[in-house]
């Protein structure tokens, strides 16, 4: 899932200073899981903003709403008329959601309330760890389901750097060496022979930005007919 954390309140307040009407908009998927952008977080931030406006002696009308996903147009259909009534939207979504909302709700201003961190997993209660760099060329099959691009501090694909000590990365003793993890996993799977292979050079053209993916199953019949001509 996409992991994000809330910006410092002082930064958020500066970004909304001077506004008269503000809609705090949550996202009910990824960022709600990491407790950064769901309904509870929307309610808490809205309350903080109301208290701050009173303390500052300024008039700020703060409303609240949460959609299931801010990266999907269908969830904005009912929200759009309401959003047009405000000076700005304070979005508790990842960076992709903020940008999508800004396009759908144009010309209403959309302000980010979160900092997007990474694609990760829940490793313990209240703890999330990065596991994927979204490189576009997944190599997990050859490394026992452990990503050297993400877990290795140097992103090495053909073996360790030699700087690790006692299973820890030379970049940080709090971090496990990715290649020790890979070795141990492949040993358990009886696949240590896979370590003899040399990984091909990375194809950096895959990482051209902004990326786009089109699922052929969603291509309209009209488009197929046009292409055939």
More confident residue, 167 or 207: 167
Could you name the CATH architecture of 2-118? Answer: 3-Layer(aba) Sandwich (3.40)
d(CA 67, CA 179): 41
d(CA 16, CA 6): 15
pLDDT in tens, 94-114: 999 999 999 999 999 999 999
Whether residue 220 is predicted with pLDDT greater than 80 in this model: the reply is no
Strands annotated E in 12-94: 21-27, 61-67, 88-92
Pick from 25, 99, 13: nearest CA to 50? 13
Q: Which residues pair with 35 in a beta bridge?
A: none
Domain range list for the chain: 2-118, 133-198
Do 178 and 151 form a contact (C-beta atoms < 8 A)? yes
Whether residue 92 is predicted with pLDDT greater than 50 in this model: the reply is yes
Residue 64 pLDDT: 97
d(CA 118, CA 147): 14
pLDDT band at 221 (very low <50, low <70, confident <90, very high): low
**ω into 107 cis (within 30 of 0):** yes
Q: Which pair of structure tokens corresponds to residue 13? A: 């307040």
Residue 222 pLDDT: 56
- 16, 18, 23, 26 alpha-carbon torsion, rounded to 10°: 10
pLDDT in tens, 9-40: 999 999 999 999 999 999 999 999 999 999 99
Say whether 155 sits in a helix, a strand or coil: coil
Average pLDDT over residues 45-60: 97
Average pLDDT over residues 174-185: 95
């Amino acid at each position: 899932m996409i992991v994000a954390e809330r910006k410092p309140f002082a930064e958020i307040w500066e970004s909304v200073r001077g506004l008269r009407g503000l809609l705090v908009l949550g996202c009910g998927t990824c960022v709600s899981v990491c407790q950064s952008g769901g309904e509870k977080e929307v309610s808490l931030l809205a309350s903080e903003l109301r208290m701050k406006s009173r303390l500052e002696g300024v008039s700020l009308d703060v409303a609240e709403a949460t959609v299931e996903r801010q990266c999907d147009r269908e969830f904005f259909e009912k929200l759009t008329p309401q959003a047009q009534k405000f000076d700005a939207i304070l979005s508790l979504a990842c960076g992709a959601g903020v940008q999508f909302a800004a396009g759908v709700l144009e010309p209403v201003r959309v302000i980010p309330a979160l900092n997007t961190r990474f694609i990760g997993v829940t490793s313990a209660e209240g703890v999330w760890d990065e596991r994927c760099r979204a490189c576009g060329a997944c190599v997990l099959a050859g490394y026992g389901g452990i990503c050297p691009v993400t877990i290795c501090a140097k992103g090495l694909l053909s073996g360790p750097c030699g700087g690790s000590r006692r299973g820890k990365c030379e970049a940080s003793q709090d971090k496990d060496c990715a290649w020790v993890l890979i070795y141990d996993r492949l040993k358990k799977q009886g696949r240590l022979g896979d370590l003899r292979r040399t990984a091909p050079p990375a194809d950096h053209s895959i990482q051209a930005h902004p990326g786009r993916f089109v699922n052929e199953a969603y291509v309209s019949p009209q488009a197929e007919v046009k292409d055939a001509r």
